[in-house]
């Protein structure tokens, strides 16, 4: 029999590989049965026409190039990942290998093409039977390891793929192979079975140089003239696939460990709403030892019918809408496990193709949280009642204070009329106030006037009382020196005691007057700094003195309810407009005071930035804070959250303008109901 006929019979009938033959000019002239199956056609002519005419499978230009390369001496030409659209429309992915056979009886070269459909890699699992000698060109084109042994375990042939991987072992024996190919007794037994006509298909583990490899092994008898002459072995390296499976198992175990560790009950159901599995916490709630006890059950097996109906409605809604239901709070009654308050979620879960596979549910026992919420609600109601009660009391006290304030106002007017000097001082204050009110920049002074006047009333009381006492002492001295009414007292033994008593009273009255004058002086001094608003020439000033002056001016606004904390560093004098900086401090402190509705704290910190030659001032309160939606607007002119009588909306706008006049910076941080902090940076010069 000619080699061409042997090759034709071997290729066309025995090897489960799609093969076609090309003519010298690249035309497809023949194809075997496996190729017909691959492209889905019923006869050879249709397959030849499909391969030859469809330019997307193998264009003629490409074919001619392949043939030229083979004729130039290339052993084979491979095209990988070629997409082939079958006549029925289905797309397959294939590797194509071309080689030339020069053994034709006609003396002409034969060109062959092998198509490997790796869309379904299991095509090599069929039993392989060989009858004739293997042609080296076919063996070398195989994209997997192929070994041929005789009955004595001698290696007759191996594919080039295996040679490149392990080296050539032709004419050697299996015992010469350095790898441990599984259990020797099992291998010998399988080899003997194959020689009787059976075939084997399985996974074999091989150890090599400390590394583990896994091969998909196919063993089939080699036949010639209807007799078994040896064994054909095909090996696919499945290491990556199997190791990936091992890694997937490890990930599965890892995820299962996490699910069992989290303090949340988790379960999953199929589309029939039967339980498929659950984590350890969920099984513990049910009193189950393993998922086997849970598998296949429904809520009706575990819960009261009314509860089961409710949850069934949730699951059906999730399956229908394909959307999750999250964070439901409800009571759950599990027979034997007691009643508990839970927060539950139900979400759909999908397959890799996107079809819905069932629902996944989880819930957390928040019974303790529910109890705390109920307790807090009760405390809140009690607190609201207490606040209402205290508010009523405050209203009553406020009415009493208003009445007292009216009386004090009458006394204040009497004192102002009696003391011309202090009246002049107050008049100057009113004139200054009028000028500042005319200017938008000094609008805040109007807010301070009543407080300053009230603050000055205290030292006025000292002076008024002192002067009244002085008048009485002087009258007594006059009577004493004139002897009026002192006939019984003007005795030598009583003279010294009477004089000492009068002098003691006089000294005490003078001290009270001096105290009142000093306090009035401090207020006037603060106002003098505050009144230098319009000065256009910078001068050296002590920032601490400016802050203290502002505190004196504002004292009546905070003295009974707000604690002032000062953390001052040692600072150099700075070049500034003292009046403008005084206005800045007054505005910022006034804002802080007004932000504290009841009692609270204001902290004033100063610092020296030596490298930048700058000073910093930070004023922080624990008041109401600034809502986030208003923080971008607070420096805008005329923007205010205060009532009509509390501000014009120019305060912070003027502050920012004055700070810029000093080449300085102002910034702030605030959170609603958590106070505010304003920071000023000023250059030393």
The pLDDT score that the predictor gives to residue 576 is 92
Indicate if the pLDDT at residue 572 is higher than 90.
yes
Percent of the chain residues topping a pLDDT of 90: 12
Do residues 494 and 456 touch, judged by C-beta distance below 8 A?
no
pLDDT digits (tens, 9 = 90+) for 531-542: 544 556 788 999
| Confidence grade of residue 249 (pLDDT, cut at 50, 70, 90) | low
Question: What is the C-alpha to C-alpha distance for residues 538 and 532, in angstroms, rounded to an integer?
Answer: 11
CATH number at residue 601: 3.30.565.10
What is each CA distance from 20 to 31, 62, 99, 633, in whole angstroms?
4, 16, 11, 81
Judgement on whether residues 488 and 579 belong to the same structural domain of the protein:
no
Question: What is the C-alpha to C-alpha distance for residues 395 and 442, in angstroms, rounded to an integer?
Answer: 33
Question: What is the C-alpha to C-alpha distance for residues 401 and 11, in angstroms, rounded to an integer?
Answer: 115
**Residue at 235 is within a domain:** no
**DSSP output for 417-448:** HH-HHHHHHHHHHHHHHHHHHHSGGGTTHHHH
Judgement on whether residues 481 and 619 belong to the same structural domain of the protein:
no
Give the helix ranges, DSSP H, for 278-328. 280-286, 291-294, 305-321
* Residue that wins the pLDDT comparison between 627 and 197: 627
Structural Rg of the chain based on CA atoms: 52
Judgement on whether residues 432 and 356 belong to the same structural domain of the protein:
no
CATH number at residue 342: 3.30.450.20
CA 252 to chain centre: 26
Tokens 């078994």 sit on residue: 228
Judgement on whether residues 536 and 649 belong to the same structural domain of the protein:
yes
The pLDDT score that the predictor gives to residue 430 is 47
Question: What is the C-alpha to C-alpha distance for residues 41 and 38, in angstroms, rounded to an integer?
Answer: 8
Last residue in a domain, options 119, 149, 172? 119
Of the listed ranges 135-149, 271-285, 378-392, the least confidently predicted one is: 135-149
For residue 468 the two structure tokens come to: 């009244």
| Confidence grade of residue 444 (pLDDT, cut at 50, 70, 90) | low
The pLDDT score that the predictor gives to residue 122 is 37
Which span out of 5-14, 352-361, 565-574, 636-645 was modeled with the highest average pLDDT?
A: 565-574
State the helix-helix crossing angle for 420-438 and 492-530, rounded to 10 degrees.
10
| CB count in 10 Å sphere of residue 463 | 22
Give the helix ranges, DSSP H, for 233-366. 239-261, 280-286, 291-294, 305-321
**Residue at 269 is within a domain:** yes
Question: What is the C-alpha to C-alpha distance for residues 618 and 667, in angstroms, rounded to an integer?
Answer: 10
- Of 333, 346, 331, which is closest to residue 267 (Cα–Cα)? 346
Judgement on whether residues 507 and 464 belong to the same structural domain of the protein:
yes
Do residues 146 and 139 touch, judged by C-beta distance below 8 A?
yes
For residue 24, the SS3 value is coil
Mean pLDDT, range 87-111, rounded to an integer: 75
Do residues 674 and 627 touch, judged by C-beta distance below 8 A?
no
Judgement on whether residues 434 and 507 belong to the same structural domain of the protein:
yes
What is each CA distance from 192 to 146, 201, 220, 399, in whole angstroms?
19, 15, 11, 114
Q: What angle do CA 35, 20, 125 make, to 5 degrees?
A: 45
Q: Which domain holds residue 277?
A: 262-365
* Residue that wins the pLDDT comparison between 534 and 83: 83
For residue 619 the two structure tokens come to: 């004023």
Question: What is the C-alpha to C-alpha distance for residues 204 and 264, in angstroms, rounded to an integer?
Answer: 43
> Could you tell me whether strands 600-609 and 562-567 are parallel, antiparallel, or unpaired per DSSP bridges?
parallel
The pLDDT score that the predictor gives to residue 674 is 87
Judgement on whether residues 525 and 538 belong to the same structural domain of the protein:
no
Indicate if the pLDDT at residue 473 is higher than 90.
no
Indicate if the pLDDT at residue 182 is higher than 70.
no
Judgement on whether residues 575 and 506 belong to the same structural domain of the protein:
no
pLDDT digits (tens, 9 = 90+) for 418-432: 666 656 655 664 454
Of the listed ranges 236-240, 273-277, 334-338, 499-503, the least confidently predicted one is: 499-503
Of the listed ranges 234-248, 447-461, 526-540, the least confidently predicted one is: 447-461
Check residue 613 and report its DSSP letter: T
Do residues 3 and 103 touch, judged by C-beta distance below 8 A?
yes
Provide the domain count of the chain. 4
Do residues 230 and 252 touch, judged by C-beta distance below 8 A?
no
**Residue at 523 is within a domain:** yes
Judgement on whether residues 352 and 426 belong to the same structural domain of the protein:
no
Judgement on whether residues 595 and 495 belong to the same structural domain of the protein:
no
**Residue at 277 is within a domain:** yes
3-state SS record for 528-581: HHHCCCCCCCCEEECHHHHHHHHHHHHHHHHCCCEEEEEECCCCCCEEECHHHH
For residue 179, the SS3 value is coil
- For residues 649, 675, 603, 647, the Cα torsion angle rounded to the nearest 10 degrees is 20
pLDDT digits (tens, 9 = 90+) for 573-621: 999 998 889 889 988 999 999 999 889 999 999 999 999 999 999 999 9
**Residue at 610 is within a domain:** yes
* Residue that wins the pLDDT comparison between 654 and 406: 654
Which span out of 192-206, 245-259, 638-652, 671-685 was modeled with the highest average pLDDT?
A: 671-685
Mean pLDDT, range 298-310, rounded to an integer: 86
Question: What is the C-alpha to C-alpha distance for residues 273 and 106, in angstroms, rounded to an integer?
Answer: 72
Last residue in a domain, options 332, 350, 365? 365
Question: What is the C-alpha to C-alpha distance for residues 597 and 391, in angstroms, rounded to an integer?
Answer: 14
What is each CA distance from 162 to 14, 149, 170, 576, in whole angstroms?
22, 14, 11, 90
Judgement on whether residues 510 and 565 belong to the same structural domain of the protein:
no
For residue 666 the two structure tokens come to: 């102002």
* Residue that wins the pLDDT comparison between 97 and 86: 97
The pLDDT score that the predictor gives to residue 123 is 42
Question: What is the C-alpha to C-alpha distance for residues 168 and 176, in angstroms, rounded to an integer?
Answer: 11
Q: What is the mean pLDDT of the chain?
A: 76
For residue 513 the two structure tokens come to: 């007057």
| Confidence grade of residue 261 (pLDDT, cut at 50, 70, 90) | low
Mean pLDDT, range 378-393, rounded to an integer: 82
**Residue at 292 is within a domain:** yes
- Of 71, 92, 107, 104, which is closest to residue 18 (Cα–Cα)? 92
Which parts of 87-143 are beta strand (E)? Answer: 91-101, 110-117
Do residues 18 and 35 touch, judged by C-beta distance below 8 A?
yes
* Residue that wins the pLDDT comparison between 452 and 134: 452
Check residue 130 and report its DSSP letter: B
- Of 406, 408, 400, which is closest to residue 461 (Cα–Cα)? 408
Burial class (CB in 10 A: 0-12, 13-18, 19+), 391: exposed
Judgement on whether residues 540 and 678 belong to the same structural domain of the protein:
yes
Last residue in a domain, options 471, 494, 529? 529
**Residue at 247 is within a domain:** no
Check residue 135 and report its DSSP letter: P
Tokens 């009955």 sit on residue: 151
Question: What is the C-alpha to C-alpha distance for residues 599 and 623, in angstroms, rounded to an integer?
Answer: 9
Q: What are phi and psi of 320, to 5 degrees?
A: -75, -45
**Residue at 479 is within a domain:** yes
- Of 66, 155, 78, which is closest to residue 111 (Cα–Cα)? 66
The pLDDT score that the predictor gives to residue 381 is 81
Question: What is the C-alpha to C-alpha distance for residues 540 and 527, in angstroms, rounded to an integer?
Answer: 18
Of the listed ranges 14-28, 144-158, 167-181, the least confidently predicted one is: 167-181
């Amino acid at each position: 029999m000619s080699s061409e006929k042997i090759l034709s019979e071997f290729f066309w009938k025995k090897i489960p590989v799609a093969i076609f033959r090309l003519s010298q000019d690249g035309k497809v002239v023949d194809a075997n049965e496996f190729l017909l199956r691959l492209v889905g056609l019923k006869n050879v002519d249709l397959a030849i026409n499909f391969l030859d005419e469809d330019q997307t499978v193998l264009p003629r230009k490409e074919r001619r190039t392949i043939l030229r390369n083979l004729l130039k001496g290339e052993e084979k030409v491979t095209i990988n990942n070629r997409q082939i659209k079958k006549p029925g429309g289905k797309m397959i992915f294939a590797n194509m290998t071309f080689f030339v056979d020069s053994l034709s009886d006609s003396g002409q070269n034969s060109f062959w093409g092998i198509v490997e459909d790796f869309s379904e890699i299991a095509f090599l699992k069929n039993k392989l039977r060989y009858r004739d000698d293997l042609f080296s060109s076919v063996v070398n084109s195989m994209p997997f390891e192929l070994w041929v042994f005789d009955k004595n375990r001698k290696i007759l042939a191996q594919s080039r793929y295996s040679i490149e991987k392990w080296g050539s072992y032709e004419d050697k024996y299996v015992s010469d192979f350095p790898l441990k190919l599984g259990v020797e007794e099992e291998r010998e037994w399988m080899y003997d079975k194959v020689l009787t006509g059976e075939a084997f298909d399985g996974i074999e583990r091989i150890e090599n140089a400390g590394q583990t490899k896994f091969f998909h092994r196919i063993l089939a008898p080699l036949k010639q003239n209807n007799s078994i002459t040896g064994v054909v072995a095909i090996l696919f390296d499945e290491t990556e696939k199997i190791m990936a499976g091992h890694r997937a198992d490890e990930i599965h175990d890892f995820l299962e460990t996490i699910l069992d560790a989290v303090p949340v009950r988790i379960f999953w159901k199929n589309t029939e709403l039967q339980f498929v599995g659950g984590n350890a916490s969920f099984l513990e709630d049910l009193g189950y030892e393993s998922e086997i006890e849970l598998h296949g059950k429904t809520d009706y097996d575990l819960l009261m019918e009314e509860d089961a109906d409710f949850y069934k409605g949730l699951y059906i809604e999730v399956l229908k809408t394909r959307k999750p239901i999250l964070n439901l709070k409800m009571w759950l009654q599990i027979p034997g496990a007691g009643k508990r308050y839970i927060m539950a979620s139900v979400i759909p879960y999908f397959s890799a193709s996107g079809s819905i596979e069932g629902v996944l549910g989880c819930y957390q026992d928040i019974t303790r949280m529910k109890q705390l919420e109920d307790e807090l609600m009760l405390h809140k109601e009690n607190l609201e009642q207490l606040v209402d009660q205290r508010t009523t009391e405050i209203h009553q006290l406020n009415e009493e204070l208003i009445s007292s304030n009216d009386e004090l106002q009458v006394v204040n007017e009497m004192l102002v009329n009696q003391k011309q000097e202090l009246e002049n001082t107050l008049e100057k204050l009113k004139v200054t106030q009028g000028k500042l009110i005319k200017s938008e920049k000094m609008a805040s002074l109007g807010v301070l006037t009543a407080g300053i006047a009230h603050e000055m009333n205290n030292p006025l009381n000292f002076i008024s009382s002192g002067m009244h006492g002085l008048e009485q002492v002087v009258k007594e001295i006059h009577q004493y020196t004139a002897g009026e009414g002192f006939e019984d007292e003007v005795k030598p033994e009583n003279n010294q005691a009477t004089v000492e008593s009068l002098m003691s009273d006089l000294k005490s009255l003078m001290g009270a007057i001096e105290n009142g004058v000093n306090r009035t002086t401090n207020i006037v001094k603060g106002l003098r700094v505050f009144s230098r608003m319009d000065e256009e020439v910078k001068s050296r000033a002590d920032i601490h003195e400016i802050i203290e002056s502002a505190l004196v001016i504002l004292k009546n606004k905070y003295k009974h309810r707000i604690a002032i904390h000062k953390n001052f560093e040692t600072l150099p004098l700075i070049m500034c407009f003292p009046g403008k900086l005084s206005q800045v401090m007054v505005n910022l402190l006034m804002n802080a005071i007004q932000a504290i509705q009841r009692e609270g704290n204001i902290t004033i910190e100063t610092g020296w930035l030596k490298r930048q030659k700058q000073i910093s001032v930070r004023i922080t309160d624990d008041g109401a804070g600034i809502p986030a939606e208003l923080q971008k607007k607070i420096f805008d002119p005329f923007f205010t959250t205060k009532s009509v009588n509390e501000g014009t909306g120019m305060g912070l706008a003027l502050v920012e303008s004055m700070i810029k006049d000093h080449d300085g910076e102002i910034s702030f941080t605030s959170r609603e109901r958590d106070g505010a902090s304003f920071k000023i940076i000023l250059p030393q010069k």
